[in-house]
Amino acid sequence: MGKILWVDLSKQSFQIKPLDKNIIRDFIGGRGSGVKILYDHLKKGTDPFSEKNLLIFATGPLTGTPVPMSGRFSAITLSPLTKTILDSNCGGNFGLQLKHAGFDMLVIEGKAKKIIYLAITPDNIKFENAEDLKGKTTIETRNIIEKKEKKKGSVVTIGPAGENKVRFASAENDGRFLGRGGIGAVMGSKNLKAIYAKGDKKIKVADPKSLEFFIYESRKWLKANPITSTGLPKFGTAVLMNIVHEAGILPINNFKSNQFASASDLSGEEVTEKLFIKKRACYRCPVACGRITKTSSKQGEGPEFETLWSLGALLGINDISWVAETGYLCNELGLDTISAGSTIACAMEMEEKGFISVGLKFGKKENIHKVLKDIAFRENIGNEMAEGSLLFSRKFGTGNESISVKGLELPAYDPRSAHGMALAYVTSNRGGCHLRAYMIAPELLGIPKKIDRFSDNGKAGLVAVMQDSAAASDSLIICRFASFAISDEYFSRLLSAVTGEDISTMNFRLIGERIFNLERLFNLREGFSFKDDNLPSRLILENLNKKRKINIDKMLNEYYRFRGWDDNGVPTSKKLEMLGLK
Amino acid sequence: MSLLKEFSRIGRDLFLSGLVSSHGGNISIRAGDKIIITRRGSMLAHLNKEDLIETGLYKDDSGIIMASTEIIVHRAIYFNTSALAIVHSHPPAAIALSLFMDEIIPIDSEASYLLHKIPVIATKETIGSKDVANIIPDYLQEYKIVMLRGHGAFSIGDILEEAYMLHSTLENACRIIAYGKIFGNAFKEYRKDGDKYTKW
Ligand code: SF4
């Protein structure tokens, strides 16, 4: 029987609750179980920064098993940036330690009176004063807590940005990040500077023999596939830079262009040649796509592909060392690099139009570090930018300078050159995100097969199926990159071997569909509607490629029908009944 | 002829002659320190320009993530032989024979002249496999085409068409061996020293 550690920070108390076995059956774990608990316990209209908001950390059935690429965990909450449901996935060891401490999930409610950190071990839950950590960076905080706790565990921390409730503040764990949507800000709103976990309990699986076989078969594909065997291990995620740019998909200068003559200066090849020190892997991952790098003056984690883009190409900057250092700075301050870069890009465009005067200009590095610090400490214009690009541009500009969906800034793929990605962005339940349905896989990389990226036809079904599959694998939990080499039929078998329940591939996808629909219901309850399923006007009206324009209405229409939703994007009662959500 | 045309022509014929399934097989050529190889999962019968992936021969670059799963074997072959082109196919009759024989000795005239003998090698992991990459180049120093048991054939040539022809010849030879087995009677040797082909 799984266990939930339920902590009330206001009362500094905790309970250990059984994890309902129906939740495990219907939602697997990770993202799915977190979404279910959040949906059931959060009242409509809760302020994300109020004591009532829940912050949930969830492991999955694969956590702590030898399954490759399963060493990750989820955090689920109501996002302060988008006000939608939010789940974020991170490759640090916190989930592993939480499970070894005997807990499948950690649910946090309330707000501590003063800044504290939480320490979780199998036989003790401590609420430790952390006033002395106020203002400390993520890395400083981690180092101090590791020293205090003596036994090497795993620490989730926030930096100044989280403390100051910057709406896109991240949380750090072992050099990896809960990046998007403001998990760090929710921690900050609860006066929770960090969480330490350490355990030594054994993790059992139901059918070790079958599991061994399925792992062997999975590893065969991971070894055979050039992306997981060579591309990611050798160049990290930045391996995508040249390919994405050459296809005209890389957004430049706040999505005003898709051509950047110096894009290759920011490629995986350049990271490897100029910055690389060593690889970094999530627990038990043979791929090891993470990088530890150094410049002439600093050392740190990353930069990942998205960071090289958001703090480099998107701003028209090609100095790879500077981009890496700016990434380190965001990591230390606890800022999501995608939203941070995109908010700077938005400000650059607003300055170009004469709406503000901050000293930010495309192609120029000047003032960017200062503005990032101002954002993290909510000083000067940074206080306004800390609200996220959408609110910022609505207040000081036209609102069109924010390239976001539901307030979440878009990542490094211009949907005008990959139409399926457009539909994936507008229907993603956490706002403009590439990881709910990574349509770049079929549209550019040919996984599972290559499709016409400028076409709107047939994308609806594919997006829906990929979203369901991603929701299920985020609940399992297995890294999204595993899908480059292994498919759902492996995931369902791994799940069956670990749990002892016979879960077919179709049932696995059905669970994903249930999770995705419940997230949609959550957002509808919060007041979102079909009107929010939309792209920034620039991406609809402007045509960079002289190719076909995106017909988002046509794709959405087909998508709603495919999903069994009505014309307003609301799941029909028939669909909800079928999914057991009625 | 443009490169795309050349790849398309060979790719289409490989499929139409049943040497590969809809998305099976892969072909490459060597271009200086680059390799041009079909995209992972491409349909050889319908190649277009996005299906020809250029990546480093000696050095990995980002092109690797689009390349055929078998690039590891193609590279190993180019490193260790003078090949300028490689074709990898899944010829059904040859695969069937490879499951029962340690070498395939053609009995027909065309394949006897062209191939003499085709070695069969076996590894536990057969797709994108380091083991295959380690073993196959040695054989290709001696033979222009080799069979990987249960998987398919790799051939080399100075030009793509030459590498392709070997697959076609091999598959025909294997069909003839199989038909011969149907007739059951002992094979009537017609070649001088035909029994010595095993020593080829
Ligand atoms: S591929 Fe990268 S992100 Fe995924 S589990 Fe491995 S190291 Fe972590």
Total domains present in chain B: 1
What residues of B are in the A interface, CB distance below 8 Å? 23, 39-42, 50-51, 60-69, 71-72, 125, 127-130
Do A187 and A257 lie in a common domain? Answer: no
Ligand 1 centroid, distance to B181 Cα (angstroms): 52
**A486 cis-preceded (ω within 30 degrees of 0):** no
Question: Do A430 and A530 belong together in one domain?
Answer: yes
How many angstroms is it from B141 CA to the middle of ligand 1? 39
Residues whose CB is less than 8 angstroms from the CB of residue A500 and which lie 6 or more positions away in sequence, other chains included: A206, A207
Query: How many angstroms separate the first and last alpha carbons of chain B?
Result: 36
Judging by beta carbons within 10 Å of its beta carbon (0-12, 13-18, 19+), is residue A359 exposed, middle or buried? middle
Tell whether A212 is covered by a domain: no
Verify whether ligand 1 is closer than 6 Å to residue A486 (CB atom): no
Q: Which one, of A213, A194, A88, A169, lies nearest residue A386 by Cα?
A: A169
In Å, how far are B110, B117, B155, B168 from B96, measured between CA atoms? 20, 16, 18, 15
By the 8 A CB rule, do A66 and A284 touch?
yes
What DSSP designation does A402 have? -
Any idea what the CATH number is for the domain that residue A262 is in? Answer: 1.10.569.10
This prediction's pTM: 0.92
Q: Are residues A532 and A439 in the same domain?
A: yes
Per DSSP, the three-state class of A7 is: strand
Do A397 and A431 share a domain, yes or no? no
Per-residue CA distances from B112 to B16, B193, B199 (Å): 24, 11, 13
Contact A329, A369 (CB under 8 A): yes
How far is it, in rounded angstroms, from Cα A7 to Cα A419?
A: 43
Residue B33 burial by CB count (10 A; 0-12/13-18/19+): exposed, middle or buried? Answer: exposed
Q: Which of B40, B73, B43 is nearest to B148 (CA)?
A: B73
- State whether A12 and A93 are in the same domain: yes
Report strand pairing: B26-31 vs B34-38: antiparallel
A462 and A552 housed in the same domain: yes
Measured in whole angstroms, the distance separating CA A95 from the mean position of its chain's CA atoms is 15
Same-domain check for residues A454 and A555: yes
Which CATH number is A458's domain given? 1.10.599.10
Domain of residue B183 covers 3-199
Phi, psi dihedral angles at A520 (to 5 degrees) = -60, -45
Is residue A221 assigned to a domain?
Answer: no
Cβ-based contacts of A239 with chain B (< 8 Å): 62, 64-65
Q: What is the structure's pLDDT at A479?
A: 97
Please state the atom number of ligand 1 nearest to the C-alpha of residue A286. 6
Q: Residue A572 sits in which domain range?
A: 415-484+504-579
CB-side exposure of A108: number of CA atoms within 13 Å? Answer: 31
The CATH number assigned to the domain holding B109 equals: 3.40.225.10
Extract the tokens encoding A137. 């960076």
**DSSP assignment string, B18-74:** TSS-TT--EEEEEETTEEEEEBTT--GGG--GGGEEEEESSS--GGGGGB-TTHHHH
Closest-approach residue (CA) in chain A for B72: A226
Bridge-based pairing of strands B152-157 and B85-89 is antiparallel
Instruction: Mark whether A182 and A242 lie in a shared domain.
Output: no
CATH number for the domain including A77?
Answer: 3.60.9.10
Is A207 contained in some domain? no
Cross-chain CB nearest to A446 (options B41, B63, B129): B41
Query: Does ligand 1 come within 6 angstroms of the Cβ of A479?
Result: yes
Ligand 1 center from residue A219 Cα (angstroms): 14
Question: What's the Rg (C-alpha) of chain A?
Answer: 22
The predicted structure's pLDDT at residue B199: 81
Within 13 A of A410's CA, how many CA atoms are on the CB side? 31
Residue that terminates a domain, selected from A352, A380, A405: A405
Taking any CB pair shorter than 8 Å as contact, residues of chain A touching chain B are 220, 223-227, 229-232, 234-235, 239-243, 267-269, 445-450
- DSSP annotation of B127 reads S
Which of B64, B123, B126 to substitute to test the interface with A, most A CBs within 10 Å?
B64
Q: Whose CA is nearest to atom 8 of ligand 1?
A: A282
Closest CA to B164 of B40, B34, B20, B2: B20
CA of B66 to nearest chain A CA: how many angstroms apart? 6
Contact between chains at A235 and B39 (C-beta distance less than 8 A) = no
Residues near A261 by beta carbon (within 8 Å), at least 6 away in sequence: none
Q: How far is A227 from chain B (nearest CA, A)?
A: 5
* Closest Cβ opposite residue B60 in set A225, A234, A446: A234
Does B64 contact A243 at a Cβ distance shorter than 8 Å? no
Last residue of a domain, one of A360, A386, A405: A405
Per-residue pLDDT of B129-161, as tens digits, reads 999 999 999 999 889 999 999 999 999 998 899
Tell me the one-letter amino acid at A89.
N
Q: Which residue of A has its CA nearest to B73?
A: A224
Ligand 1 pocket, residue A285 CB under 6 Å: yes
Tokens of B43: 């349909």
Amino acid at A131: E
Q: What are phi and psi of A4, to 5 degrees?
A: -115, 130
- Per DSSP, the three-state class of B5 is helix
Quote the ligand 1 centre to B170 CA distance (angstroms).
Answer: 43
pLDDT (0 to 100) of residue A65: 97
CA B66 to chain centre: 21
Contacts of A240 in chain B (CB under 8 A): 62, 65
- Tell whether ligand 1 has an atom less than 6 A from the beta carbon of residue A35: no
Q: Do A465 and A390 belong to one domain?
A: no
How far from the centroid of its chain's Cα atoms is residue A30's Cα? Answer: 13
A449 chain-B contacts, CB cut-off 8 A? 23, 41
What are the structure tokens assigned to A73, written together? 């965990």
Of A217, A319, A215, whose CA–CA distance to A263 is shortest? Answer: A319
Query: What DSSP character marks residue A272?
Result: I
Ligand 1 centroid – CA B134 distance (Å)? 28
B180 CA distance to ligand 1 middle (Å):
53
Name the nearest CA neighbour of A311 among A352, A340, A280. A340
Residues A432 and A555 in one domain: yes
Considering only CB atoms, A445 lies closest to which of B51, B66, B72, namely B66
In a domain, A219, yes or no: no
Query: What number does the ligand 1 atom closest to the CA of A232 have?
Result: 1
Structure tokens at A451: 């499709």
What distance separates the 2 farthest-apart alpha carbons in chain A? 66
B8-13 CB contacts, 8 Å cutoff, 24+ apart: B8/B47, B10/B44, B10/B87, B10/B160, B10/B161, B10/B164, B11/B38, B11/B43, B11/B44, B11/B45, B11/B46, B11/B47, B12/B44, B12/B45, B12/B46, B12/B47, B13/B164, B13/B168
Quick one: which atom of ligand 1 is closest to the CA of A72? Answer: 5
Q: A387 and A459 in one domain?
A: no
Residue-level pLDDT at B197: 86
B86 vs B161: CA distance, rounded Å: 10
Tokens at B78, concatenated? 């180019």
- Residue A106's pLDDT is what? 98
Query: If you compute the radius of gyration of chain B from its CA atoms, what whole number of angstroms results?
Result: 17
Q: Which residues of B touch A234 (CB under 8 A)?
A: 60, 64
Task: Collect contacts of B180-188 with beta carbons under 8 A, ≥24 apart.
Answer: B180/B107, B187/B107
CA of A32 to the centre of ligand 1 (A): 20
Phi-psi region of A205 (alpha: psi -120 to 50; beta: other; left: phi over 0): beta
Nearest CA in chain A to B129: A224
Q: Chain A residue with minimal CA distance to B67?
A: A226
Is A422 near ligand 1, meaning CB less than 6 Å away? no
Compute CA B15 distance to the chain's CA centroid, rounded to the nearest angstrom.
13
Q: Is the CB of A281 under 6 A from ligand 1?
A: yes
* Closest chain A residue to B22, measured at CA: A449
Distance between first and last Cα of chain A: 26
How close B102 comes to chain A (CA, Å)?
25
- Is position A383 within any domain? yes
Supply the DSSP string of A461-472, one letter for each residue.
HHHHHHHHHHHH
Ordered mean pLDDT values, 10 residues apiece, chain A (582 residues)? 95 97 96 98 98 98 97 98 98 98 98 98 97 97 95 96 98 97 98 98 96 94 94 97 96 96 96 97 95 96 97 98 98 98 98 97 98 98 98 97 98 96 98 97 91 92 94 97 93 96 92 98 98 95 79 95 95 97 93
Helical (H) or strand (E) element with A84 = none
**B151 token code pair:** 């998987």
Residue type at position A553: D
Considering the domain architecture, whether residues A130 and A246 belong to the same structural domain is answered as no
Domain count of the fold of chain A: 3
> What per-residue confidence (pLDDT) applies to B82?
85
| Residues A474 and A87 sit within 8 Å (Cβ to Cβ) | yes
A260 vs A254: CA distance, rounded Å: 12
